[in-house]
């Protein structure tokens, strides 16, 4: 009887867990069987959901329940607090596994090439998200002295950043935010938050539900300028062909024609304003300069040559995420992805790198919603299993399940497990119980490891 296929998945976020699920649902799971080890550099699993989703979005975090069911399967093991490549290099992975799938996601900010991005008060949205989501590897404090703030971008991350900046700390206290984040937000001085998009309402990348959530806070007045409601033939075609785009545009239209209320925090959504420069005084952000744009008939825009300076003290750049290069793998720095063919990693000559695959944002770039990674996973896993059936996978020298544990112990890696996550989960829930909260997230890595029994 042939042994089970041994698969390593590097990255235990949704993409990696969906890949594990696809493997378990394949025919190979029955014969010869599949054995899967998930490796995660954080002590806890779930990646983007734990460290990339705003704390006031429990609906999205509910996806964790489905991921739990996958990780509960006996064919899957979790090894947390394991870093690629310092704890586990590519050669090591191929020594222990028939195939390796990288699902490391995207956590860095895509650069914005305009003057002034280096000024104090100019921030990447990804760094701010990591702070308010309690990532253990970022500073525990965040400067929130600005009364007027700009957010550049019209995607859901921009909405999250704008909403967290505009809400009060007490509004967010019932969520899982850790004490250091609550204290930081309590001192937040922002009274005006301005979100800028260079195109029009029909081109905004907001999800309709997330956009409407802006209006639910009793402290946030959402304001849209009626002059920013404009459509050309391309925009109208977009609305007709995309229900979500039409719903977003309709919401913005309704906000543009209503009277402005008296809620204390103002959140402005600006369209047709292209950021051209961040202005500063004494090294500190003092204003944002934008160029007014206009539609060109296709849904795209062109500059008008009319500029405006917006006085403010901080700028958050939410123009997209970018994956980090993975040592020993090819990398396209422009797209921020690993070159591949249907998930099979390609080397510099365009040949398939044996037994090496990618899925999720490191495969297709940081676009789409969390659920879209399921299609990526299914495609990649289908290729992996086809390669196995054709005898194209390289045989590992040490395929035994105990070999990887011995390797990590020899390296002195203090790794966590799926049972350890249950202990950490119970610990965080116990921290929240006296305050009537579902949980309080633990930030310090050592505390996470201790609570996990690493």
pLDDT in tens, 78-93: 999 999 999 999 999 9
Q: Looking at the domain assignment, is residue 426 inside a domain?
A: no
- Are residues 144 and 171 both part of a single domain? yes
Domain of residue 115, CATH code: 3.50.50.60
- Residue 451 located in a structural domain: no
The domain that holds 85 is classified in CATH as: 3.40.50.720
Q: Are residues 31 and 98 located together in one domain of the fold? A: yes
The total number of structural domains in the chain stands at 2
Q: Among 258, 288, 321, give the residue marking a domain's end.
A: 321
Residues 102 and 113 in one domain: no
259 and 115 within one domain = yes
Residue 386: the pLDDT is 96
Q: Say whether both 308 and 218 belong to one domain.
A: yes
Q: Residue 425: inside a domain, yes or no? A: no
pLDDT digits (tens, 9 = 90+) for 377-411: 999 999 999 999 999 999 999 999 999 999 999 99
* Share above pLDDT 90 across residues of the chain, in percent, rounded to a whole number: 90
Query: Among the three residues 306, 321, 336, which one is the final residue of a domain in this structure?
Result: 321
Question: Is 168 within a domain?
Answer: yes
Are residues 54 and 176 both part of a single domain?
no
Do both 84 and 149 map to the same domain? no
* Host domain of residue 390: 5-106+324-415
Say yes or no: 255 and 162 in one domain: yes
In this structure, is residue 432 part of a structural domain?
no
Residue-wise pLDDT for 345-374, tens only, equals: 999 899 999 999 999 999 998 876 677 788
Convert the pLDDT of each residue in 319-354 to its tens digit. Answer: 999 999 999 999 999 899 999 999 999 998 999 999
Confidence of residue 442 (pLDDT cuts 50, 70, 90): very high
The pLDDT value given to residue 113: 94
Instruction: For residues 354 and 390, state if they share a domain.
Output: yes
HEC-encoded secondary structure of the chain:
CCCCEEEEEECCCHHHHHHHHHHHCCHHHCCCCEEEEEEECCCCCCHHHHHCCCCCCHHHHCHHHHHHHHHCCCCEEEEECCCCCCCCCHHHHHHHCCEEEECCCCCEECCCCCCCCCCECEEEHHHHHHHHCCCCCCCCCCCCCCCEEEEECCCHHHHHHHHHHHCCHHHHCCCCCCHHHHHHHHCCCCCEEEEECCCCHHHCCCCHHHHHHHHHCCCEEEEECHHHCCCCHHHHHHHHHCHHHHHHHHHHHHHHHCCCCCCCEEEEEECCEEEEEEEEECCEEEEEEEEEEEECCCCCEEEEEEEEEEECCEEEECCCEECCCCCCCCCECCCCECCEECCEEECCCCCEEEEEEECCHHHHCCCCCHHHHHHHHHHHHHHHHHHHHCCCCCCCCCCCHHHHHHHHHHHCCCCECHHHHHHHHHHHHHHHHHHCCCCCCCCCHHHHHHHHCC
Residues 51 and 175 in one domain: no
- Does residue 159 share a domain with residue 273? yes
128 pLDDT above the threshold of 50: yes
């Amino acid at each position: 009887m042939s042994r089970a296929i041994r698969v390593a998945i590097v990255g235990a976020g949704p993409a990696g867990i969906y890949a594990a699920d696809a493997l378990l649902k394949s025919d190979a799971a029955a014969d010869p069987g599949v054995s899967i080890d998930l490796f995660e550099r954080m002590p806890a699993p779930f990646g983007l959901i734990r460290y990339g989703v705003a704390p006031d979005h429990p609906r999205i975090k509910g996806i964790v329940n489905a991921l739990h069911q996958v990780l509960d399967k006996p064919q899957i093991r979790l090894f947390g607090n394991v870093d690629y490549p310092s704890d586990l290099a590519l050669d090591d992975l191929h020594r222990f596994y028939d195939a390796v799938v990288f699902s490391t996601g995207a956590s860095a900010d895509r650069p914005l090439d305009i003057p002034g991005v280096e000024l104090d008060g100019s921030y990447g949205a990804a760094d701010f998200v990591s702070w308010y989501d309690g990532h253990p590897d970022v500073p525990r404090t965040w400067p929130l002295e600005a009364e007027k703030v700009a957010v550049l971008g019209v995607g859901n991350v921009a909405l999250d950043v704008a909403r967290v900046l505009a809400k009060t700390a007490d509004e967010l206290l019932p969520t899982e935010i850790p004490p250091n984040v609550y204290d930081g937000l309590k001192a937040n001085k922002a009274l005006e938050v301005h979100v800028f998009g260079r195109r029009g309402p029909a081109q905004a990348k907001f999800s309709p539900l997330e956009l409407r959530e802006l209006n639910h806070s009793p402290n946030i007045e959402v304001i849209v300028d009626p002059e920013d409601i404009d459509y050309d033939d391309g925009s109208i075609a977009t609305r007709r062909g995309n229900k979500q785009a039409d719903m977003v545009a309709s919401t913005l239209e309704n906000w543009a024609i209503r009277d402005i209320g008296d809620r204390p925090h103002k959140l402005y959504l600006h369209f047709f304003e292209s950021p051209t420069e961040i202005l500063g005084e004494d090294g500190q952000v003092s204003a944002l300069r934008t160029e007014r744009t206009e539609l060109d008939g296709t849904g795209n825009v062109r500059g008008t040559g009319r500029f405006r300076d917006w006085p403010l003290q901080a700028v958050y750049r939410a123009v997209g995420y970018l994956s980090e290069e993975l040592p020993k793998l090819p990398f396209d720095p422009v797209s921020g992805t690993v070159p591949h063919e249907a998930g099979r990693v390609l080397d510099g000559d365009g040949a398939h790198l044996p037994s090496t695959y990618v899925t999720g944002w490191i495969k297709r770039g940081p676009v789409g919603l969390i659920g879209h990674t399921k299609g990526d996973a299914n495609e990649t896993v289908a290729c992996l299993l086809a390669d196995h059936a054709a005898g194209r996978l390289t045989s590992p020298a040490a395929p035994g399940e105990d070999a990887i544990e011995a390797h990590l112990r020899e390296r002195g890696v203090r790794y966590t497990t799926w049972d350890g996550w249950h202990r950490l989960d119970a610990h965080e829930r116990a921290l929240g119980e006296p305050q009537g909260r579902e949980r309080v997230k633990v930030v310090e890595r050592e505390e996470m490891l201790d609570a996990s029994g690493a």
